[in-house]
Amino acid sequence: MTDPVLVDRRDGYHVITLNRPERLNAFNADMLAGIAAAMVQCRDDDSCRAIVVTGAGRGFCAGQDLTARELDDAGGRPDLGASLETTYNPLILMMRDMAKPIIASVNGIAAGAGANFALAADFVIAGRSASFLQAFARIGLIPDAGGTWWLTRHLGEARAKALAMLAEPLPAATAESWGLIHRVVDDADLEGETARLAERLAASSAMALALTKRAIHEASRNALETQVRVERDLQREAGFGPDFVEGVSAFLAKRPADFRRT
Ligand code: T3D
């Protein structure tokens, strides 16, 4: 049987490829477990300083595999709340809490939980032919895997409601112009631009990126008074870290900083 998740260990970062192209990389239980395991591997490996997730074939991910959601012979229904609680929610929260930056390299349609899995990444870079589809309403569901949260935060209620309730695909270029994703590039450039971004992040101060990610996430729920105290505490931690010594020494010596040795 083909592995539903492939992991390519590159210099400084890992590429996790969703690998069920014949189903547009729809999530099944094995794939969800494989993604979580690959994320944990990178989290625990000091040589892995960034993570890329992408899809094999013409799509990024078509969300939950609906062939696993047919009624059973007795008409029994799956408990979708339990499915979210045990698989999707822990995965999305692990991505949010991951100290290392995550890039979603969206190579085609990202639908349902596949779209929201991409939006859980820190950087979403998409090929021009890609699109984001909150497909849920088409099958009588609500956006999950963080969808209602990302859409409302990034776009505001009007656009969030339109995307969720009309369930029309949002082209990558519009997603970029609306501020939902980081960047759209020509399809032919997606792999190269993703690698360039991953290499750049891998060469950056791991501590600065981890603390920045934390600060920005905390900012979304804090008043300014609280957030400046968060910044004080995290900056104190950064200032006592080795990357600050390296960064300042490199600046003063007029040489590039080498954070991978600190
Ligand atoms: O259940 C829980 O645990 C709760 C969590 C739910 C999270 C969710 O993600 S719910 C939303 C699930 N996803 C969808 O509803 C999207 C379903 N797919 C589509 O609407 C379309 O496939 C796309 C718009 C994404 C792409 O359309 P198109 O025309 O480019 O491709 P296609 O021909 O529809 O798909 C290609 C093949 O992939 C096709 O198989 P076939 O006919 O060639 O044998 C199609 O059936 C299969 N496929 C696509 N999406 C899924 C899928 N098979 C199973 N599950 C899918 N989600």
pLDDT, position 261: 82
Side by side, the strands of the sheet bearing 5-10 are 5-10, 13-18, 50-55, 102-106, 123-127, 183-185
Answer yes or no: is the C-beta of 139 below 6 A from any ligand 1 atom: yes
Give every CB contact of residue 114 below 8 A, 6+ residues apart in sequence.
Answer: 25, 26, 27, 60, 61, 62, 63
Cβ atoms 40, 6 nearer than 8 A: no
Class of domain 206-261 (CATH, top level): mainly alpha
Is the CATH number 3.30.565.10 carried by domain 5-203?
no
Of the CA atoms within 13 Å of residue 259, those in its CB half-sphere come to 20
Q: In whole angstroms, what is the distance from residue 224 CA to residue 243 CA?
A: 27
- Tell me how far the alpha carbon of residue 61 lies from the centroid of ligand 1, in angstroms: 8
Q: In the 8-state DSSP scheme, what is residue 127?
A: E
Identity of residue 125:
I
Q: In whole angstroms, what is the distance from residue 257 CA to residue 204 CA?
A: 9
- Tell me how far the alpha carbon of residue 28 lies from the centroid of ligand 1, in angstroms: 12
Answer yes or no: is the C-beta of 124 below 6 A from any ligand 1 atom: no
Most ligand 1 atoms within 8 A of CB, residue of 19, 22, 23, 24 to mutate: 24
Answer yes or no: is the C-beta of 55 below 6 A from any ligand 1 atom: no
- Nearest residue (by CA) to ligand 1, atom 25, is 62
pLDDT, position 71: 73
- Tell me how far the alpha carbon of residue 135 lies from the centroid of ligand 1, in angstroms: 9
Q: Which helix (H) or strand (E) holds 218?
A: helix 206-219
Answer yes or no: is the C-beta of 83 below 6 A from any ligand 1 atom: yes
pLDDT, position 200: 98
pLDDT, position 11: 97
Query: Where are the chain's structural domains?
Result: 5-203, 206-261
- From the alpha carbon of 136, which atom of ligand 1 is closest? 11
Give the three-class secondary structure for 103.
strand
CA distances from 246 to 24, 101, 237 (A): 44, 21, 15
- Tell me how far the alpha carbon of residue 110 lies from the centroid of ligand 1, in angstroms: 10
pLDDT, position 81: 96
Answer yes or no: is the C-beta of 147 below 6 A from any ligand 1 atom: no
Which residues does residue 7 pair with via DSSP β-bridges, in sequence order?
16
Q: In the 8-state DSSP scheme, what is residue 100?
A: S
- Tell me how far the alpha carbon of residue 115 lies from the centroid of ligand 1, in angstroms: 12
pLDDT, position 137: 98
What are the structure tokens assigned to 149, written together? Answer: 């949260």
The stretches in the chain having pLDDT less than 70 are 73
Largest CA distance in the chain: 73
pLDDT, position 116: 98
Answer yes or no: is the C-beta of 101 below 6 A from any ligand 1 atom: no
CA distances from 49 to 102, 119, 188, 189, 198 (A): 9, 20, 25, 23, 9
Torsion of CA 51, 56, 62, 67, to 10 degrees: -120
pLDDT per position as a tens digit, 81-129? 999 999 999 999 999 999 999 999 999 999 999 999 999 999 999 999 9
Same fold for the domain at 5-203 and the one at 206-261?
A: no
Answer yes or no: is the C-beta of 112 below 6 A from any ligand 1 atom: yes
pLDDT, position 262: 75
Cβ atoms 15, 125 nearer than 8 A: no
- From the alpha carbon of 116, which atom of ligand 1 is closest? 9
- Supply the Cα-derived Rg of the chain in whole angstroms: 19
- Nearest residue (by CA) to ligand 1, atom 56, is 65
